């Protein structure tokens, strides 16, 4: 690999959407980059069609759906072995502006302590409504302050800022920092693996930065909801609950536990219990408590997947 940056896009049964995403990436004005597509065991012919449509890309076909964390790690390992300096994890339900990557590279190169840069993210429809303008996570309460959520962009989030919660929707990662911290924790499978990674980078003294001049549009939930169909609510409820317990077990100090526990039980467990019962969604109701049980009882991996 001669490219400085490897753009890693995970696909699972979303050929048309992934194709649109790749076309926007190819239109970027960003110098040297390579596209790595990890096909997560698709059954819609993606693994055969994508390399024909985009012969300049590398397609790594997997036999089964490995989940988000392990699937991304396949691409990251390939990029590291080829000598990439940066990896860009990019959701396939997105499309990017021409200056998207160049703006993030300009930011990450200002300081070797910066491990991750995230862009300004809009909803695909309407295209001026914000999805993400940086975020912060509190170990005291287990809550995320997601700046700009559903606000119309009037330039109110145009300042570059430090953040404590990067998003796996789109994150540019310095490979040297990645080798130090390790890969995504595959035990999470999907959801909150980016939060866990953010906390691990911060613990090692790295910085996470929001770059507002880098712009991207996101079809929110298009991959997980449409691909999983009716089972998506229960699956997301299970993973979201279990993985936030994993985050707590991995990262809380003893003094965080009382306030984290109170907030989590009220804002998450009690809220979703009431919501699922009100909607008569008993599959998701059961999934909530399965997630809580597995999060508490599972043995955490003693070592993070090494880069």
Domains and CATH numbers, the chain: 5-223 (3.90.550.60), 225-297 (no CATH)
What was the pLDDT predicted at 38? 98
- State pLDDT tens for residues 240-288: 999 999 999 999 999 999 999 999 999 999 999 999 999 999 999 999 9
SS3 assignment for 92-159: CCEEECCCHHHHHHHHHCCCCCEEEEEEEEEECCCCCEEEECCEEECCCCCCEEECCCCCECCCCCCC
Q: Is the pLDDT of residue 302 over 80?
A: no
188 HSE (CA, 13 A, CB side): 29
What was the pLDDT predicted at 220? 84
% of the chain surpassing 90 pLDDT: 92
Helix (H) or strand (E) holding 173: strand 170-174
What was the pLDDT predicted at 303? 57
Cα–Cα distance, 222 to 238 (Å, whole number): 19
Segment 10-36 shows an average pLDDT of: 95
Q: pTM, whole model, 2 decimals?
A: 0.94
For CA atoms 175, 145, 133, 226, the dihedral sign is positive
Average pLDDT of the chain, as a whole number: 94
Higher pLDDT, 227 or 238: 238
DSSP label of 266: I
Q: Is the pLDDT of residue 78 over 80?
A: yes
Higher pLDDT, 231 or 109: 109
Segment 143-154 shows an average pLDDT of: 95
């Amino acid at each position: 690999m001669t490219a400085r940056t490897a753009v890693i896009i995970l696909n699972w049964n979303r050929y048309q959407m992934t194709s649109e995403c790749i076309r926007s990436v190819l239109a970027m004005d960003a110098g040297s980059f390579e596209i790595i597509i990890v096909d997560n065991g698709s059954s819609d012919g993606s693994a055969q069609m994508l390399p024909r449509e985009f012969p300049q890309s590398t397609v790594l076909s997997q036999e089964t759906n490995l989940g988000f964390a392990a699937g991304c790690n396949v691409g990251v390992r390939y990029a590291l072995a080829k000598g990439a300096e940066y990896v860009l994890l990019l959701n396939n339900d997105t499309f990017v502006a021409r200056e998207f990557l160049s703006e993030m590279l300009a930011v990450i190169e200002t300081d070797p302590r910066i491990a991750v840069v995230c862009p300004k993210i809009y909803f695909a429809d309407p295209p001026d409504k914000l999805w993400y303008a940086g975020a912060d996570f509190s170990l005291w309460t287990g809550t995320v302050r997601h700046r700009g959520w559903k606000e119309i962009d009037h330039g109110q989030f145009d300042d570059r800022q430090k953040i404590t919660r990067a998003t796996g929707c789109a994150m540019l990662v310095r490979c040297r920092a990645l080798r130090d911290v390790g890969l995504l924790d595959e035990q999470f499978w999907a959801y909150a693996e980016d939060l866990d990674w953010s906390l691990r980078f911060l613990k090692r003294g790295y910085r996470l930065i929001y770059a507002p001049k880098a712009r991207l549009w996101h079809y929110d939930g298009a991959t997980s909801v449409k691909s999983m169909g009716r089972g998506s609510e229960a699956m997301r409820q299970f993973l979201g609950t279990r993985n936030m317990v994993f985050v707590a077990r991995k990262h809380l100090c003893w003094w965080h536990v009382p306030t984290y526990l109170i907030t989590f039980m009220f804002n998450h467990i009690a809220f979703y219990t009431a919501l699922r019962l009100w909607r008569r969604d008993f599959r998701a109701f059961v999934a909530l408590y399965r997630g809580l049980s597995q999060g508490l009882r599972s043995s955490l991996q003693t070592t993070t997947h090494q880069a």
